[in-house]
Structure 1
Amino acid sequence: MYELMLSDLDETLLVNHHVPEFNVEAIKKARKHGLKFVPATGRAFNMIPEILKEIGTYDQEDEYSICFNGALIVENKNSKILNFKGLSFDVAKMLFDKARDYDVCVLVFTVDMCYIYNADPDEVQRKKDQKAPFVVVEDYNIDNLKNDRIAKILYQKKDMNYLKKIAADLKDDIENKACASYSSNRYLEFNAPGVNKGYGLKWLASYLNIDLDKTIAIGDNYNDVEMIKQAKLGVCVACGDDEIKSIANYVTKLDYNQGAVKEVIEKFILEEE
């Protein structure tokens, strides 16, 4: 029986930034059957309290969240940080300075705040919709963040080919210093080396003494690939790219807004029971 399920949020669990009722009900049933359901997101922990309330794990002991693509692992009760693996300031500054050469909006995430540079109005609105604590910064400088815990840096542009070109340009610069991934068809994300949602899955499963053979992971985008690979049952949502579908054990018939998470729970948790 599966004991731990990780789920991406955007374009997987959520519809319009909320958990739809069909997913809420499926998660409640799965939890009664002993499944631990854990959000695994690129978002900060302080961006997901409403989502945790909707799935019933907000401020609960022995309930967990994986944030910043695995850089932050939290027990929900009292927002207890169990593990953090962020970017060094020197690497963050290097990535920040490199962004000057490109036409991108830059988002620097510390544990507590999102700082937006070269602000794209659409991205600012997106952060408002996500209820993210954020600051739009006019001065292009991050020296004031030297003593902060920097979780990740994002380059944002609604042009994935352009972002992939940037990643190729920076390949040598980030080798052994940071790792790159993509999400939401608008972000090039940089985390610390070895940090990804697969890392988060392995860390949390070990912490909970759950065998990886009893894990499920579901997602739709490139920052979900490593957890899809690591889980015993790796699932890609119907809307995912063919490349991601090709590495998954199962591809949902329903899209995220039709109940992809519900489908997986019913097929692999509730039917199994």
Structure 2
Amino acid sequence: MYKLMLSDLDETLLIDHHVPDFNIEAIKKARHNGLKFIPATGRAYNMILDVLKEIGTYEQAGEYSICFNGGLIVENKNNRVLNFKGLSFEQTELLFESAKNYDVCVLVFTLDMCYIYNANEEEVKRKIAQNAPFKVMDNYCIDHLKNEQIAKIIYQKSDMSYLKMIGQDLAKVIEGKAAVSYSSNRYLEFNALGVDKGYGLKWLADYLGIDIKETIAIGDNYNDVEMIKAANLGVCVISANDDVKANAQYVTKLDYDQGAVKEVIEKFVLEEK
């Protein structure tokens, strides 16, 4: 019996930043049958409150969220931080200054705020749609963040081949300093070394006393690979790239906007019951 299911949000659980009714109903049935359903996202906690309300876990004790690609794990009641693993200011500054060499929008996330540099209209609109607390910065400087808890830094450009080129360029610069992942066909993400969604899954399962054999994870992108590999049942959405699918034990027949999450819950959780 599966007791814990992690789900990516964008291009997996959500349609236009909201949980569709067919997924809401499936999640409710699964939770009624004892499944812990956990959003596992690159977003900040304050960016997923509407999602938690839609799935029924907002401000609920004993319900949890994994944010910043595993860098933050919270109990939803009172946003109680259980585990945080962020970047040092020095690590962030290295990546921030390196971004000057590339044509990218830069986003620096603290626990409570997203600071956007070299902002473009597309990304600003996306942050508005995500209900993200953000500030567009005029000066290219992060000195004001020296005493802040920094969760991650992102380079954004809607050109994945360009972002992967940057990742290769910086490989030696950041070796031993940060973890690298890609998401939503638009982001190159840098987290603290050792942080990924697989780390988040293992940490939370251990915290809850759930055997890894009782876990499912579903996602669609490169920042989901480690949790897909870590879970006993790793699932990939059908629209994902083939190199992401290669890590999964099961690939959905439905795309995310057709009910991929619903399909997995019905096939592996509800039918099992």
Q: Normalising to structure 1: TM-score of the pair?
A: 1.00
Partner of 1:135: 135
Distance 1:120 1:73 in 2: 30
In the TM superposition, residue 91 of structure 1 has moved relative to its aligned partner by 0.5
Given residue 48 of structure 1, which amino acid in structure 2 is its aligned partner? Answer: I
Distance 2:52 2:158 in 1: 28
Partner of 1:159: 159
Partner of 2:113: 113
Q: Does 1:13 align with 2:19?
A: no
Secondary structure in 2 aligned to 1:224? Answer: helix
Distance 1:226 1:110 in 2: 23
Unpaired runs of 5+ residues, structure 2, are none
Distance 2:110 2:162 in 1: 25
Partner of 2:149: 149
* CA deviation vs aligned residue, 1:189-245 (integer Å, no higher than 9, x gap): 000000000000000000000000000000000000000000000000011110011
Partner of 1:58: 58
Distance 1:246 1:92 in 2: 32
Distance 1:59 1:173 in 2: 41
Secondary structure in 2 aligned to 1:22? Answer: helix
Given residue 227 of structure 1, which amino acid in structure 2 is its aligned partner? Answer: M
In the TM superposition, residue 148 of structure 1 has moved relative to its aligned partner by 0.4
Distance 2:244 2:214 in 1: 21
Secondary structure in 2 aligned to 1:153? Answer: strand
How many residues matched?
A: 273
Q: Normalising to structure 2: TM-score of the pair?
A: 1.00
Q: Does 1:197 align with 2:186?
A: no
The 5-angstrom pairing of residues 204-223 of structure 1 reads: 204-223=204-223
* CA deviation vs aligned residue, 1:123-150 (integer Å, no higher than 9, x gap): 0000000000000001000011000000
The 5-angstrom pairing of residues 1-273 of structure 1 reads: 1-273=1-273
Identity %: 72
Secondary structure in 2 aligned to 1:164? Answer: helix
Secondary structure in 2 aligned to 1:9? Answer: coil
Secondary structure in 2 aligned to 1:12? Answer: coil
Which ranges of 4 or more aligned residues in structure 1 deviate by more than 2 Å? none
Distance 1:246 1:229 in 2: 10
Secondary structure in 2 aligned to 1:135? Answer: strand
Q: Please, what is the CA RMSD of the aligned residues?
A: 0.3
In the TM superposition, residue 99 of structure 1 has moved relative to its aligned partner by 0.2
In the TM superposition, residue 23 of structure 1 has moved relative to its aligned partner by 0.1
Secondary structure in 2 aligned to 1:87? Answer: coil
Given residue 14 of structure 1, which amino acid in structure 2 is its aligned partner? Answer: L
In the TM superposition, residue 170 of structure 1 has moved relative to its aligned partner by 0.3
Distance 2:196 2:30 in 1: 26
In the TM superposition, residue 44 of structure 1 has moved relative to its aligned partner by 0.2
Secondary structure in 2 aligned to 1:152? Answer: strand
In the TM superposition, residue 60 of structure 1 has moved relative to its aligned partner by 0.2
Distance 1:152 1:118 in 2: 17
Distance 1:202 1:100 in 2: 36
* CA deviation vs aligned residue, 1:93-118 (integer Å, no higher than 9, x gap): 00000000000000000000000000
* CA deviation vs aligned residue, 1:32-65 (integer Å, no higher than 9, x gap): 1100000000000000111000000000000000
Secondary structure in 2 aligned to 1:10? Answer: coil
Distance 1:120 1:220 in 2: 25
